[in-house]
Amino acid sequence: MLQERYSRQELFNPIGKSGQNKISDKHVLLIGAGALGTGNAEALVRAGVGTITIVDRDYVEASNLQRQQLYSEEDAKKRMPKAIAAKERLSQINSSVTIHAKIMDASFAELSSLAQDVDLMIDATDNYDTRLIINDAAQKYNVPWIYGACVGSYGMTFTIIPGETPCLQCLWDNIPMSGGQTCDTAGIISPAVNMVVSYQTAEALKILVEDWQALRGKLVMFDLWENTHTEINVKKVKKKNCPSCGEQAYFPYLSNEKLMKTAVLCGRDTVQFRPSEKKTIDLTEIESVFSSQGLVVQRNPYLLSVTFAPHRVVVFYDGRVLVHGTNNVTEAKKYYHRIFS
């Protein structure tokens, strides 16, 4: 029976037996084990990828079960780390795949190290700080990566090939990449997740079998509820002076300079986040979003406070954030990213 595991995939002419052999020799780094991460992981493990490394800092919660397909109610009850729960389930699906589970925050140091030993990276994160680190690591170590994002009924994806396509920084400077909404503010439906996963996994298989000509080459955006689909040719937005992929690239997000500063405030049960660069925050917009969800929001001329019981998050105009009610940085980051995606 196991000899026939990939028979239908091998019958697909662009893959065949030779492509299947290539897939089984490849190593994929998956950053994030949430909705996009679990979907991509299961598809690639079923496809027979040789090695997959899963990086995630979070644990399973009940609210994940609606769309994060590898997890069970028992995982949520035990608060199992997502990387571990994903590995256990994936190993049951395909025992021939080598799976590495990394319970960690994907900062520049970790991704710089991991990126040097993989053939492909897949973005399944929930924030742009991490995506920009992935982008720089991909450019520095010449590793293809596939960007993906979804919220509500909307999704977006783009495949980035170092030296060929614009990088995320190029796109970021030229195309609106986010409306400021997250799954925590606008919700999400699973079909939007599945659509992004399908695009990402299809592009991943093309890269793993080295069929470079088959890659889409366009930024894809869609809204399943509004019945819209858009593809944008972004070749012209590649910038010669881009700090991440330009002629004099210096990979700014692989250094402490671009790293958000985090500190546990002594004796206050509070974690402070300070942005790496000065910025001005629109507190009115944040107030509108979270007030509409029925949360307790207070604002004065200097700051805004949102209560996510049992924690309270205070946002200042300069981008500084205080998360009260914890001295655990990993836990505090979850609330930080509810404010800023």
Q: What is the pLDDT of residues 234-290, one digit of tens each?
A: 999 999 999 999 999 999 999 876 667 787 876 678 898 888 776 788 888 889 988
CB within 8 A of 123, min separation 6: which ones?
A: 31, 32, 36, 131, 134, 145, 146, 147, 148, 149
Whether 81 and 52 map to the same domain: the answer is yes
Query: pLDDT averaged over the chain?
Result: 90
Whether 183 and 311 map to the same domain: the answer is no
What ranges make up the beta strands (E) of the chain?
27-31, 51-56, 98-103, 120-123, 145-151, 154-160, 219-223, 228-232, 261-265, 270-274, 296-299, 303-308, 311-316, 321-324
Whether 175 and 75 map to the same domain: the answer is yes
Whether 117 and 16 map to the same domain: the answer is yes
Tokens 């000509």 appear where? Answer: 213
* Euclidean distance between CA atoms 216 and 281, whole angstroms: 36
Q: What is the CATH number of the domain that holds 318?
A: 3.30.310
Whether 186 and 288 map to the same domain: the answer is no
Span 165-207, pLDDT tens digits: 999 999 987 766 655 566 666 788 999 999 999 999 999 999 9
Whether 249 and 264 map to the same domain: the answer is no
As a whole-number percent, the residues of the chain with pLDDT over 70 amount to: 94
Name the domain boundary from 232, 254, 276: 254
Tokens 């609606």 appear where? Answer: 66
